[in-house]
């Protein structure tokens, strides 16, 4: 990732093919598929591309997959009128989403569930600065710079391929 230009992007040939078989992206994200999702193909099945509009459920943890929650789609959705437990994002064009989440979603098909370890490089500000967690999460104070983060993720739908 020379100069950070490829953060949030993965080569098309890199995606989750088998449950339990981890996939590591060129930027060091390690994704483990727990369910592969649809076995169909086509733009609405995935994997989604940059610019795709997707619905995603996720929970971000510090320390480990069982660690304190710093952000989640459920927390974000709870503040909306219809209280969805997912968020709608446009891949690579949503500043409130990490490059790690952008990369992980590009490894998935609709209905897929998994978890990933996000290196600091793929965090906000490439891990250089601490950031504010969701006020309603478990983490009080800022999430430290250079933190490795742990996410559970589900690709609910590709709304616009």
> Does residue 5 have a pLDDT over 90?
no
Confidence of residue 129 (pLDDT cuts 50, 70, 90): very high
- Measure Cα distances from 59 to 43, 87, 122 in Å: 25, 11, 16
Model pTM score: 0.94
| Percentage above 90 pLDDT, the chain | 93
Distance, CA of 20 to CA of 109 (rounded, Å): 15
148 has pLDDT over 80: yes
Mean pLDDT of 6-25: 92
- Residue where the block lists tokens 């793929």: 122
Q: Which of 135, 144, 118, 131 is nearest to 65 (CA)?
A: 118
CA triplet 76, 80, 86: central angle to 5 degrees? 50
Q: What is the pLDDT of residues 39-71, one digit of tens each?
A: 998 999 999 999 999 999 999 999 999 999 999
Instruction: Give the per-residue pLDDT at 2.
Output: 43
3-state secondary structure 37-104: CCCCCCCCCCCCCCCCEEEEEEEEEECCCCCCEEEEHHHHHCCCCCCCCCEEEECCCCCCCCHHHHHH
């Amino acid at each position: 990732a020379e100069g950070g230009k490829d953060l949030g992007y993965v080569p098309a040939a890199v995606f989750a093919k088998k449950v339990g078989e981890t996939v590591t992206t060129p930027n060091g994200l390690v994704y483990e598929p727990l369910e592969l999702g649809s076995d169909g193909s086509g733009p609405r099945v995935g994997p989604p591309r940059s610019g795709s509009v997707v619905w995603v459920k996720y929970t971000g943890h510090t320390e480990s997959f069982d660690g304190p929650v710093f952000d989640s789609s459920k927390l974000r959705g709870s503040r909306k009128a219809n209280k969805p437990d997912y968020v709608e994002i446009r891949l690579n064009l949503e500043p409130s989403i990490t490059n790690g989440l952008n990369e992980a979603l590009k490894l998935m098909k609709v209905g897929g569930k998994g978890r990933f370890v996000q290196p600091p490089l793929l965090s906000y500000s490439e891990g250089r600065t601490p950031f504010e967690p969701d006020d309603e999460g478990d983490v009080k104070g800022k999430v430290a710079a250079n933190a490795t983060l742990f996410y559970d993720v589900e690709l609910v739908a590709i709304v616009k391929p």
